[in-house]
Structure 1
């Protein structure tokens, strides 16, 4: 599978397209490790939900699986800002990997970072590894997620999550089947799922949690967001505000 790849640049930002105007990824050329698109920032909101320091003294997340490479935004961010994490990217299209290497500063493969060419769903089913953070952002040129938008896939991901594992999925909120997609995640995670309010782009990021319960007060979420902004430049304070305004924090607490 090799979609037609187009690269465009405007106002210091380089964009990836799959043969259409629809943006598949972006990188600000002078800030390659920042997350340019709002939904990619939201996909890292799992960092608000789990403590960066685990009870055993290790850091969270230690193992990150990224399904769908795009312009390598998530891969660059995690590789640069979470040095404790080992990262595996699964991408079905060789041309996307080639474009990420040539135009989007894809990290060099080594013991800590690797790219697997193939289907993300098949990879999850066939590789008996556990992951702390699974980021699912796979679409074709027609904005379809295919097998990545099925309940068996989400169940398979849940089975591969660690005791503090979290899955984040990018959903195209303007698609007709968006609510059905969200319900599949909710069922697969036995209601331990939450959709963050839609970004300006129309993307909605949904999270599913496994293992230890998550219970975060709005004050804790804001404090963690301030810490992340200071450490990485990632600003999730607007995300917390939108969650609160949307009524997703009953009693001022996020529970999953």
Structure 2
């Protein structure tokens, strides 16, 4: 069955829907490369956690896998703000890719950006490539993640992460299965995981880490968030504040 695609606009923001009221992506028309939705901004919090250099001197992340294209918000942000990154996008619905190109200014494929039509869960299992950053944001018209929210999938993702690898997953915090999803992620990553406090929209972003340890004090997180806001316009200072207020940083540090 093909994915029904609907486009709406309100107050200068264009929205993507899959035949329902659920918002599957958004773009502020005057700022097409900015991250309009709060959860997409938080999925980029990996930029606060890693800063190492690859063997060739390139900054993190060098290789990025995005499962689920949506309105291409994350793809565009990384493409335009992380010139060292090579992006592989896997999207199961051809119509979503077409809509992203027509309505959401998805860049054309080139040496840095490759788009594959296919199943993200199958791709993770079949391919042996490793990635620094794997971002998972795949839902159907009924807000179901299916195979992208299973223990086997999260374990497979972990096996595809580099020594500085991070996974970021968008979860629906208001769904009945949310806590079970978080438990699967923690189990797959041997507790090297964190679920951020729910956004106003009800979305929860969870991270899992592989390889080198992550340890950032609140002061470091704020300093890096300020630098990121200056260089890219992405403001993650509210996220750091929410983590601190929610008690998610025991001992004043984020440790993964």
Assess if the C-alpha contact under 8 Å between 1:158 and 1:210 holds in 2.
yes
Quote the offset at 1:209 in angstroms.
Answer: 0.1
Structure 2 gaps, min length 5: none
**Are residues 1:48 and 2:48 paired?**
yes
Partner of 1:235: helix, strand, or coil?
coil
Could you say which residue in structure 1 is the equivalent of 2:204? 204
2:173 aligned with 1:147, yes or no? Answer: no
- Specify the alignment match of 2:219 in structure 1: 219
Match of 2:109 in 1: 109
Deviations 1:196-238 (A, max 9, x none): 0000000000000000000100000000000000000000000
1:240 counterpart residue number: 240
Q: Which runs of 5+ in 1 are unaligned?
A: none
The answer to whether the 8 A contact 2:54-2:62 is kept is: no
- Cα deviation, residue 131, structure 1: 0.1
Report how many aligned residue pairs link the two structures.
256
Write the distance in 1 (CA, Å) between the matches of 2:122 and 2:116.
11
CA contact (8 A) 2:34 2:234 kept: yes
3-state SS of the aligned residue for 1:48?
helix
8 Å contact kept, 1:13–1:26: yes
> Post-superposition shift, 1:54?
5.3
Equivalents in 2 of 1:181, 1:60: separation in Å? 27
Once the two structures are superposed, the pairs formed by residues 91-110 of structure 1 within 5 Å of their partners are: 91-110=91-110
- The structural deviation recorded for 1:3 is 1.1
Structure 1 runs (4+) greater than 4 angstroms displaced = 52-56
Q: Say yes or no: does 1:177 pair with 2:180.
A: no
Measure, in 2, the Cα distance between the counterparts of 1:190 and 1:161: 14
Displacement after TM superposition at 1:52 (Å): 5.9
Q: Where does residue 194 of structure 1 map in the other structure?
A: 194
Partner of 2:166, secondary structure, is strand
The TM-score normalised by the length of structure 1 is 0.98
| Contact residue 163 and residue 211 of structure 1 kept, 8 A | yes
String of CA shifts for 1:115-151, please: whole Å, max 9, x gaps.
0000001001111100000000000000000000001
Query: How far did 1:57 drift?
Result: 3.2
For the residue of structure 2 that corresponds to 1:66, the secondary structure is: strand
Please state whether the residue corresponding to 1:191 is helix, strand or coil.
coil
Q: What per-residue deviation string (whole Å, max 9, x for no partner) do you get for residues 164-222 of structure 1?
A: 00000000000000000000000000000000000000000000000000010000000
Deviations for 1:80-108, whole angstroms, at most 9, x for unmatched residues? Answer: 00010000000000000010010001111
- Superposition deviation, residue 21 in structure 1: 1.3
CA RMSD of aligned residues (A): 1.0
- Under a length normalisation based on structure 2, what TM-score does the superposition of the two structures give? 0.98
